[in-house]
């Protein structure tokens, strides 16, 4: 991605300098950079940097005797992971810019971009990697069985208690384990609701040196996504997992995991029904999902596709 798009400034044509709203280029030391056309002819230079980005707002770039007003954003680090995340930001965020931007617009964008480079602490990565691998595999599972809208539904609302919101009345929670039993931990109010339908996607993962890496799974999923916003969100998740071509993460047996995916209606799962005390909240417990009957995937996908013709699942 970087090799294809990033050129030295001298290689950029005069016409591009005159018209393009965003110009990718590389610095003299080979780091990826972007020029975003300024909507104002301001000369007050603003410089600064975050943990991962360096920026020069209201810059003046001279080429062939002419001056042009641009904002310049550079990738601060030279490692493969940072370059890959910067390329994702360009491909799925900056490339969408069609008009010149002010320094105020760019300042807001730079702040939000730091999320793309945020990495999970080392001690928390194992649990995150298992969970995300299971979630991506479940997305592919439903996609391959005919529910093509699944990627747009995945973590579509930051504050949701569930992984997938199909509509206002139907949600899916995905749980993964590397143990041999189909036992998952749930919060009671996440799983058993009176106001919505909650379904559970259950996965059993087995580590395998010859299996599919988390990096390969991200690549497969991102190769199927066409919406730029969904791609950017997936790129952010990839960054949060600290996954790149250099650090591919754990590998699991793909075929074995796919063959053992089960879908359950949460109402059919074992759960507490009484005995709650006023003032007691945040109740969590382990549930053996194998004690409940699962929903055949074709039947489940047919019900999801049927919802597309009705409003909010009504």
Residue 1: predicted pLDDT: 41
More confident residue, 126 or 271: 126
Question: In the structure encoding, which two tokens stand for residue 40, read together?
Answer: 């104002």
pLDDT confidence bin for 35, thresholds 50/70/90: very high
Q: What does the pLDDT look like over 212-239, one tens digit per residue?
A: 999 999 999 999 998 888 888 888 888 8
- pLDDT over 70 at 132, yes or no: yes
Note the pLDDT tens digit of each residue in 75-93: 888 777 778 778 878 877 7
User: CA-to-CA distance for 44 and 59, rounded, in angstroms?
Assistant: 8
What mean pLDDT value characterizes the chain?
86
Return the beta strands (E) in the chain as ranges.
Answer: 22-26, 32-37, 46-49, 53-63, 66-75, 164-165, 170-177, 183-187, 197-204, 207-213, 251-252, 262-265, 284-288
Between 282 and 229, name the one with better pLDDT: 229
DSSP 21: S
Q: Which pLDDT belongs to residue 276?
A: 58
User: Is residue 112's pLDDT more than 80?
Assistant: no
Q: How would residue 301 be classed by pLDDT, with cut points 50, 70 and 90?
A: very high
The arithmetic mean of pLDDT across residues 108-115, rounded, is 70
| Residue 147 to residue 259: CA distance in whole angstroms | 18
Query: What distance in Å separates the CA atoms of residue 196 and residue 181, rounded to the nearest whole number?
Result: 28
- 184-203 burial, b at 16+ Cβ within 10 Å, e below that, comes to bebebeebeeeebbbbbbbb
Q: What is the per-residue pLDDT across 249-272, written as a single tens digit (0 to 9) for each?
A: 999 999 999 999 999 999 999 877
**Considering the chain, what percentage of its residues have pLDDT values greater than 90?**
44
Backbone angles phi, psi at 186, to 5 degrees: -135, 150
d(CA 207, CA 302): 32
Q: Give pLDDT, residue 43.
A: 67
As a whole number of angstroms, the distance between CA 90 and CA 94 comes to: 5
Instruction: Say if residue 179's pLDDT is above 90.
Output: yes
Segments of 40-137 assigned E as strands: 46-49, 53-63, 66-75
Distance CA(304)–CA(302), nearest Å, equals 5
* Entry pTM: 0.71
Q: What is the pLDDT of residue 115?
A: 63
Q: Provide the pLDDT for residue 93.
A: 79
Between CA 196 and CA 160 the distance in angstroms is: 13
pLDDT at res. 67: 87
| Listed ranges 25-39, 203-217, 297-311; the one with the highest mean pLDDT | 203-217
- Tell me what pLDDT residue 2 has: 40
Going by their DSSP bridges, the two strands 164-165 and 170-177 should be labelled as: antiparallel
């Amino acid at each position: 991605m970087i090799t294809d798009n990033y050129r030295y400034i001298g290689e950029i044509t005069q016409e591009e300098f005159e018209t393009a709203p965003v110009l990718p280029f590389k610095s003299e030391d080979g780091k990826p950079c972007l020029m975003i056309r300024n909507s104002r002819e301001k000369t007050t230079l603003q410089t600064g940097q975050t943990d991962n980005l360096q920026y020069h707002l209201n810059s003046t770039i001279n080429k062939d005797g002419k001056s042009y007003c641009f904002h310049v954003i550079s990738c601060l680090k030279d490692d493969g992971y940072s370059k890959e995340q910067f390329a994702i930001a360009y491909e799925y965020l900056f490339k969408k810019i069609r008009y010149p931007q002010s320094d105020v617009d760019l300042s807001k964008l730079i702040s939000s971009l730091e999320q793309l480079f945020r990495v999970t602490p080392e001690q928390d990565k194992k649990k995150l990697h298992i969970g995300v691998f299971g979630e991506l595999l479940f997305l592919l599972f439903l996609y391959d069985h005919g529910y093509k809208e699944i990627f747009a539904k995945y973590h579509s609302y930051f504050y949701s208690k569930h992984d997938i919101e199909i509509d206002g009345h139907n949600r899916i929670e995905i749980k993964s384990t590397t143990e041999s039993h189909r036992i998952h931990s749930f919060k009671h109010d996440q799983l058993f609701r009176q106001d919505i339908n909650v379904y559970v996607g259950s996965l059993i993962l087995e580590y395998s040196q010859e299996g599919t890496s988390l990096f390969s799974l991200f690549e497969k999923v991102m190769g199927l996504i066409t919406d730029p916003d969904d791609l950017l969100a997936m790129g952010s998740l990839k960054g949060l997992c600290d996954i790149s071509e250099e650090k591919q993460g754990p590998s699991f047996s793909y075929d074995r995991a796919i063959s053992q995916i089960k879908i359950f209606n949460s109402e059919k799962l074992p759960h507490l029904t009484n005995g709650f005390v006023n003032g007691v909240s945040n109740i969590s417990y382990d549930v053996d999902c194998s004690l409940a009957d699962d929903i055949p995937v074709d039947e489940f996908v047919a019900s999801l596709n049927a919802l597309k013709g009705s409003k909010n699942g009504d």
